[in-house]
Amino acid sequence: MRRLTVYRLEVPYREPLRVEGFEFGERQGVPTCSIVGSMRGDEVQQAYACARVVERLEHVEECGGIRKGVRILVIPCANPLSMNVASRFWPADGTDINRRFPGDAYGETTERVATGIFGAVRGSTYGIQFASFNQQGDFLPHARVTRVGAVSEESLSMAEDFRLPCVVSREATPFDTGTLNYSWQEWGTHAFSVYSRTTDRIDRPSATLAGNAVMRFLGTRGLISGRVSGGTNGVRLDETELVDVRTEGSSGYLDGLVKPGDVVDKGQELGLVLDAFDAHVRERLVAPVTGRIFFCRVKALVQQRMVAYRIVPL
């Protein structure tokens, strides 16, 4: 394992921003696989899961398990500057590095950071990002492929090699064009977002599950040696097939009764919306289909028209 500085930026009154990478296998050339952990300041789980992958690859390399000709680059935390002040976005201007790819070396600050990161991971055969979502809640661990072009179709088949409970595809929107995942695919990389359960707190079981999935993927794709085992035969579906359960006419406290991964029957109660002043039940959120819970909102307060649960129909 070699530790290298992928990008460095001088900042006012603090130590420079240093984006650190960990290199395994070959020392030269474009990475066979690049793995990125947190990109935003609150992605603690993503950084943690990725750090655990570094730890495991270190062991694999010590045992001679990195295949000849393979170079793996891992960037556990692409934005320590924001993590150290617990700011989801760039603290000085609120911009999101993961909306700035492929970046610009002469552009605005976060475009420079993005281009520094992308310069290290561009052209990788495989790109894996431990991602978080803008919906605040817990997820069923899954792999996600955003459809950008022809490369995405092949990626979707490959995503099954993670052997996570779910492989979700989705159409790219204009909002996606600045993401690392999108830029990777523009450069022909098979790009995957791996979601574990949480974002701003560590959930050890799902971080381990996500890390196992990445190691399984590397093994199945022939980048590392060793027996590939575990995981599940996941469900493959398009994001539009997920069934949303939302607060319709009420708001208040969400009293959740289920968690990601639970199998629920049609008509089963998933949560209660309680009045904020008298705790009376204002709405019962029930499963419109039989399925597995994919997403649960975990924040205590809910507004009207808010997605509280998403279900993978079975």
Partner 1 sequence: MIETVFSAALPVGERLIVKKNRIEGRGGRGPRIAVVTGIHGDGLEGQFVAFELAQRLRERIGDLRGIVDIYPALNPLGISASEHGVPLFDLDLDRTFPGNKLGNLNEALAAAIVADIKGANACVDIHAPDAYLQEVSQVRVEERFAKTLLPLAQFLNTQLVWVHGSTDPLRSTLAHTLNSKRTRTLVVEMGESLRITEDAGSWLTEGILRLVEHLGGWTGSSVALPSPRLVRDGSVTVVSAEVPGFFLPRIELGTTVRSGQIIGVIADPLEAKVKAEVVAPSEGTVISLRAQPLVYPGTLLARVLGGMR
Residue with tokens 């696989």: 33
Q: Is residue 85 at the binding interface for partner 1, with CB under 8 A as the rule?
A: no
Q: Is residue 10 at the binding interface for partner 1, with CB under 8 A as the rule?
A: yes
CB of 118 to partner 1, least distance (A): 15
Q: Is residue 107 at the binding interface for partner 1, with CB under 8 A as the rule?
A: yes
Using CB under 8 A, which of the segments 43-51, 91-99, 158-166, 202-210 binds partner 1?
A: 91-99
Q: Is residue 108 at the binding interface for partner 1, with CB under 8 A as the rule?
A: yes
Give the closest residue to 113 by CA, choosing from 5, 8, 16, 22. Answer: 8
Q: Is residue 28 at the binding interface for partner 1, with CB under 8 A as the rule?
A: no
Interacting residues with partner 1 between 115 and 134 (CB under 8 A): 134
CA–CA separation, 79 vs 47, rounded Å?
A: 10
CB of 147 to partner 1, least distance (A): 15
Q: Is residue 12 at the binding interface for partner 1, with CB under 8 A as the rule?
A: yes
Q: Which pair of tokens denotes residue 265?
A: 């029957």
Give 136's DSSP letter: -
Cβ–Cβ < 8 Å for 311, 245: yes
CA–CA separation, 156 vs 192, rounded Å?
A: 9
Q: Is residue 110 at the binding interface for partner 1, with CB under 8 A as the rule?
A: yes
Q: Is residue 178 at the binding interface for partner 1, with CB under 8 A as the rule?
A: yes
Cβ–Cβ < 8 Å for 250, 274: no
Interacting residues with partner 1 between 292 and 311 (CB under 8 A): 301-307
- Using CB under 8 A, pick the residue from 52, 112, 122, 216 that binds partner 1: 112
- Using CB under 8 A, pick the residue from 94, 205, 222, 230 that binds partner 1: 94
Interacting residues with partner 1 between 129 and 168 (CB under 8 A): 134
Which residues on neighbouring strands pair with residue 74, listed in sequence order? 22, 35
Q: Is residue 276 at the binding interface for partner 1, with CB under 8 A as the rule?
A: yes
- Using CB under 8 A, pick the residue from 253, 286, 288, 292 that binds partner 1: 253
Q: Cβ contacts of residue 301 below 8 Å, gap of 6+?
A: 251, 252, 253, 254, 276
Residue type, 310: R
Q: Is residue 64 at the binding interface for partner 1, with CB under 8 A as the rule?
A: no
Q: Is residue 219 at the binding interface for partner 1, with CB under 8 A as the rule?
A: no
CA–CA separation, 137 vs 142, rounded Å?
A: 14
Nearer to partner 1, 70 or 131 (CB): 131
Nearer to partner 1, 71 or 88 (CB): 88
Using CB under 8 A, which of the segments 52-60, 145-153, 169-177, 216-224 binds partner 1?
A: 169-177
Nearer to partner 1, 224 or 272 (CB): 272
Strand, helix or coil for residue 212: helix
Give the closest residue to 20 by CA, choosing from 101, 118, 145, 117. Answer: 117
Torsions phi, psi of 236, nearest 5? Answer: -110, 125
CA distances from 141 to 55, 196, 206 (A): 21, 4, 7
CB of 233 to partner 1, least distance (A): 32
Cβ–Cβ < 8 Å for 148, 101: no
Measured from the Cβ of residue 240, the count of other Cβ atoms closer than 10 Å reads: 8
Measured from the Cβ of residue 10, the count of other Cβ atoms closer than 10 Å reads: 8
Nearer to partner 1, 63 or 105 (CB): 105
Q: Is residue 111 at the binding interface for partner 1, with CB under 8 A as the rule?
A: yes
Task: Provide the binding-site residues for partner 1, judged by CB under 8 A.
Answer: 9-13, 88, 92-94, 96, 99, 106-112, 134, 173-175, 177-178, 246, 249-253, 276-277, 301-307
